[in-house]
Amino acid sequence: MKWIYKITYPNGKIYIGKDLTGTFRYFGSPNSKILEKDFSDKEKKDFTIRREILWQSENTSEEEVNKKEVEFILKYKSNNLSIGYNRWPKLKK
């Protein structure tokens, strides 16, 4: 199973990612240095995130999954610093 997911952090910011293996426990790989700056030490000690599967497929190519990931990043604007943690594709101003 391949899917595109949305992670929502306690501050409301989001991260859109892909999983090509359908691993239940995978929660993405946003830049940890950027993520950590948004939370205090106290907040880091009790941290809840939400993962939603936005799209999934059993029979699609990795190339199609990559296209879908970009489509959802742009749709949710998660590459906008004030909205999310995706840093690619670069936000066009």
Q: Tell me the pLDDT tens digit for each residue of 55-74.
A: 999 999 999 999 999 999 99
Beta strand extents in the chain (DSSP E only): 2-8, 14-19, 50-57
pLDDT in tens, 26-60: 888 888 899 999 999 999 999 999 999 999 999 99
Domain membership flag for residue 49: yes
Domain presence at residue 83 = no
Domain that holds residue 6: 2-76
8, part of any domain = yes
The token pair that represents 67 in the structure block: 């296209």
pTM over 0.85: yes
Residue 69 lies in a domain: yes
Contact criterion met (CB below 8 Å) for 9 and 17: no
Q: Which two tokens stand for residue 35?
A: 């993520």
DSSP code of residue 83: T
